[in-house]
Amino acid sequence: MGLFFVSEKYSLTHTGKHTAIGKAREDVEHILTDCGCVPIDVVQNIPDVEKGSSAVLKLKRRVFSAGDWKKSLKSLVPGDVVFIQFPVHNHSIAVSKYLASLAKSGVRIVLVVHDLESFRIIHNAKESRLRRLELQREEGLMLDACAGIIFHNTRMQERAKDLFGLQVYDKSVSLGCFDYLLEGDVARAVEGRSYHSKSDSVIIAGNLLRYKAGYAYELPDDVPFLLYGPNYVEGDSKPNVTYQGVFAPDELPMHLDGSFGLIWDGPTADTCAGAYGEYLEINNPHKASLYLASGLPVIIWERAALAELVEEQGCGLTVASLSEIGERLAALDEGKYREMAANARVLGAKLRKGWFMTEAVYHTLVKLCPEES
């Protein structure tokens, strides 16, 4: 039995340039390597179509993508285990069908799920019924074909069971929380950081586009906030809100200077609503990992999936509305805040070392290969 993982590279045939895969996916690759898995590069050579409709380009990308996967994975043999981060670039029914055929040949595919669009759009009235059915078919084919699945948390496992069936649930494990690897000067800076006060600013980090994070423009007036990330409209700032700019993911922890990290999403400060806000009920947002790996306790929507972990670990506050934050902080004893911060540091140390994904990989392999564990 060989242990492998797919390392996707995305390039344009006319430039040969590759795009970055993102912090979360890059960390998973590092952890899988540490777990003894060997990378298999899948370089997707997307054709340059300067002339022609977007539909033509989309079709070409799908055709080329499936071919690139087939060429790259041809050396796998029955019994091998290959981890694939999902969704893959240019995912389509063609890619799903190829990977399903690979699974039928005896190769054991394990999906590391970052997002399933079926979860996000199934109740979105703006998406056509045809598009929803198409996505569910594509993703369902992949979930049925694979031998193992690493979902974000137990709620996502339950939602998958409701949408795709018991067989998907039975072969899955729960991650718990995404890791956030840090090393070198950044790790040392985080580990040596002094404790803050509960009265320091609350941090918001992430994409600050209005349509995604409208709440960031409706923040309560009685709490100081520090905002980090792209696409913020500074002219709309309140006096208690300070925009700090954009930093690379590996550097950002050094610049987070506040009391709590806020985990919220959607158009309003009243509750987490809309496609992005409601997704928090089953999603593990990467910003939560950022805050905790940086040694910060968090404030999170009380109905979010990660609220359970926050309460179990004693590393933050849960609220129904952002308007509650000021009152909750006023009532919070400074000693209790220090306790939350200390608990966040303990959890953050695990995230910085890749503990959660390592455990998920181990439990997945135990399910797949009990005789070899």
Is the pLDDT at 171 greater than 80? The verdict is yes
Shared-domain flag, residues 69 and 168: yes
Shared-domain flag, residues 359 and 249: no
Shared-domain flag, residues 197 and 317: yes
The residue whose two tokens read 């054709």 is: 47
Which ranges constitute the DSSP H helices of the chain?
23-34, 54-72, 93-104, 117-121, 129-145, 154-164, 166-170, 184-191, 252-255, 274-279, 286-293, 307-313, 325-331, 334-353, 355-368
Give the separation between CA 36 and CA 213, rounded to whole angstroms.
Answer: 39
305 contacts: CB under 8 Å, gap ≥ 6:
152, 153, 155, 156, 280, 281, 282, 283, 284
Shared-domain flag, residues 158 and 169: yes
pLDDT per position as a tens digit, 172-203: 999 999 999 999 999 999 998 888 899 999 99
Is the pLDDT at 107 greater than 80? The verdict is yes
User: What pLDDT, on the 0 to 100 scale, is given for residue 61?
Assistant: 59
Q: What are phi and psi of 266, to 5 degrees?
A: 110, -175
Shared-domain flag, residues 124 and 135: yes
Shared-domain flag, residues 338 and 361: no
Q: Which of 370, 367, 324, 315 is nearest to 170 (CA)?
A: 367
Residues 344 and 296 sit within 8 Å (Cβ to Cβ): yes
**Token representation of residue 132:** 């929803």
Residues 313 and 341 sit within 8 Å (Cβ to Cβ): no
Calculate helix-pair angle for 355-368, 334-353, nearest 10 degrees.
50
What's the rounded mean pLDDT across residues 123-128?
Answer: 62
The domain of 302 spans: 186-352
Residues 200 and 259 sit within 8 Å (Cβ to Cβ): yes
18 vs 232 pLDDT, higher one: 232
User: What pLDDT, on the 0 to 100 scale, is given for residue 125?
Assistant: 60
DSSP 74: T
Is the pLDDT at 67 greater than 90? The verdict is no
Spacing of C-alpha 21 from chain mean position: 12
Shared-domain flag, residues 104 and 166: yes
What's the rounded mean pLDDT across residues 295-322?
Answer: 97
Q: How many domains does the chain have?
A: 2
Per the document, the length of the chain is: 373
Shared-domain flag, residues 105 and 209: no
Give the separation between CA 348 and CA 191, rounded to whole angstroms.
Answer: 9
Helix (H) or strand (E) holding 40: strand 38-46
Shared-domain flag, residues 153 and 169: yes
Shared-domain flag, residues 53 and 132: yes
The answer to which of 49-63, 161-175, 333-347 has the lowest mean pLDDT is 49-63
Write down the mean pLDDT value for the chain. 89
300 vs 237 pLDDT, higher one: 300
CATH number for position 238: 3.40.50.2000
Shared-domain flag, residues 268 and 360: no
Shared-domain flag, residues 37 and 175: yes
Q: pLDDT band at residue 215, thresholds of 50, 70 and 90?
A: very high
